[in-house]
Structure 1
Amino acid sequence: MSGLLTSDDATLIDLSIGLEDGPPSEPMPPSIDAFDHEAGAERLAENLRELGHDVDAEDFPAGMGLAWEDLEVIPHAGTHLDAPWHYGPEVDGEPAKTIEEIPLEWCRGNAVVLDFREKDAGEEIDVADLETALDDLNHDLSPSEIVLIQTGADELWGTPEYLTQFPGMSAEGTKFLVDQGVTVIGTDAYGFDKPFTEMGRRYVESGDESELWPAHFAGREVEYCQIEKMANLDELPRKTDVPIVAFPIKIENGSAGWVRPVAFVEDGADGEREADSDVTESGGETA
């Protein structure tokens, strides 16, 4: 992987969704107030005048200052990494890590993509599903590998359906992965659990509190982080041994941090990608 990080022959694949102003795919959408260069000149001149300097916007070259944006946004908007603190105050009796305490070593490594695009929206991905997906890849998980759950939900980004049309992880499935040494699990869906509406329906019908955010709350028993709202997993040329980095921004005592996961793939892997696609469509093994 170290060679790919510095190689000019590596293709970089962006696996993230960025922050946008008021998208319908966010229940608490970011608000982005953008200032162009002319407005930037006015604001910079005002700042300088407050410091006692006689400067007007027209004094800037061509009357243009610096563009920037004011943002109002939660750390769970866009692609982000949830810290154990998000799930609860403790993990197995120990204080839960906040986002700035996450070891960087957790956030880089080889990824394994498990394809669940055939699962229906609202279904749970359980241990048997994970074992079958790994068997299909003829792959045994190793400690420090990053597991990426592919649902295909990223194709719905920009629509309200993005919030409801995806399967989610089960508590036992989550613990199964962590028990094998996995500390970071990603998904291309809005959330790691089933959609809110499905969890609410199940809880009202059963009265069983374990129907509410079971995969998240598994993080009170086993320590792990999850990346939500990933994208473009279908652009990866293979399903295993995909080097990625996904370092979160540090927020003091934060429950999450925005992240831009990037995969590093050897140039010339397009042919490999097409071969994987052909094998997958035929129902055979991928690697």
Structure 2
Amino acid sequence: MSLVTALTAGLAQGDLRVIDLTNTLSAQTPALRLPEPFPNLIDFSLEEVAAYDDKGPFWKHHNIHTGEHIGTHLDAPVHWATGRDGKDVSQIEPARLIGPAAVLDVSAAVEDDPDFLLEIDHVTAWEAEHGALPTNGWLLLRTGWDRYSDDQEAFVNADEKGSHTPGVSAECARWLAEETQLSGFGVETVGIDQGNAAQLDPPFPVHHYLLGRDKYGITSLQNLDRLPPTGALIVVSPLPIVGGTASPCRVFALLEG
């Protein structure tokens, strides 16, 4: 049996499950809010053009208005200064967007500390138990933050000291970029860096190191609690926007059983 035939049969027979890792996209989808004087992207919205009426008697359709970095979205290298000469969304090879998932669960630590930072030791401890991070794979950080995905205030979790969401230390971000063969890194939070990552050195180290090394980021993931540490395959499907620094995307996991 060919691999494609086996995959098709597994889906048809229910031996292979498809799990949606994507947040819904609407005007209520939580989004990043930059402090002044920096401008923010527009939120997602639909503009009705026709709805089975004089403007379209047999059809309904809309214009969509959205920033690139809204909802579950993929960050391309060109998004960041260190990747400015790298790929835009349309240039990312499809084979880099499909790969094995390594799911690292730090939700218990985040429950006690919303400013939690992933360190190299956390990753190497995971590798000691589950094996090396996969080549052309995706490290998915499970923090439990997706429970806030319908609440702008809780999702961003900001106060006078900044935004308090978990992320990755500068040392670990550099290590993931330089010492692994990952395609990318995915999170349940609004951005691939910690909420207060502007205070790290360098600022926003996941953006700085990973996008600068032709690795990609996915934000606002859902349902990582339904994935095992290893064994799932993820499919990341951004729009191929020419010149795009990011794109809202649908992300699926394929899982046996």
TM-score (norm 1): 0.73
Q: Which structure dedicates a bigger proportion of its chain to helix?
A: 1
Q: CA deviation at 1:6?
A: 5.6
Unaligned runs of 5+ in 2: 34-41, 158-163
Change (3 A) 1:26 1:139: same
Aligned residue type for 2:43 = P
* Contact 2:28/2:150, CA 8 A, preserved across alignment: no
Measure the CA separation in 1 of the matches of 2:114 and 2:142: 13
Map of 1:146 onto structure 2: 138
Map of 1:172 onto structure 2: 171
Change (3 A) 1:242 1:24: closer
Change (3 A) 1:5 1:149: farther
Unaligned runs of 5+ in 1: 45-59, 204-208, 270-287
Map of 2:39 onto structure 1: none
* Contact 2:168/2:193, CA 8 A, preserved across alignment: yes
Question: Is 1:29 the counterpart of 2:21 in the alignment?
Answer: no
Map of 2:155 onto structure 1: 162
Aligned equivalent of 1:43, options 55, 64, 69: 55
Q: Which structure dedicates a bigger proportion of its chain to strand?
A: 2
Question: Is 1:243 the counterpart of 2:233 in the alignment?
Answer: yes
Map of 1:115 onto structure 2: 105
Question: Is 1:227 the counterpart of 2:218 in the alignment?
Answer: yes
Question: Is 1:69 the counterpart of 2:68 in the alignment?
Answer: no
Aligned equivalent of 1:104, options 90, 94, 108: 94
* Contact 2:82/2:209, CA 8 A, preserved across alignment: no
Measure the CA separation in 2 of the matches of 1:6 and 1:166: 41
Q: CA deviation at 1:156?
A: 0.5
Determine helix, strand or coil for the equivalent of 1:66: strand
Q: CA deviation at 1:243?
A: 1.3
Fraction of identical pairs, as percent = 24
Aligned residue type for 2:235 = V
* Contact 1:107/1:247, CA 8 A, preserved across alignment: yes
Map of 1:273 onto structure 2: none
Determine helix, strand or coil for the equivalent of 2:193: coil
Q: CA deviation at 1:127?
A: 1.1
RMSD of Structure 2 on Structure 1 (CA)? 2.3
Change (3 A) 1:84 1:5: farther
- Structure with bigger RCO (C-alpha 8 Å, 6+ apart): 2
Measure the CA separation in 2 of the matches of 1:175 and 1:229: 22
Aligned residue type for 2:44 = P
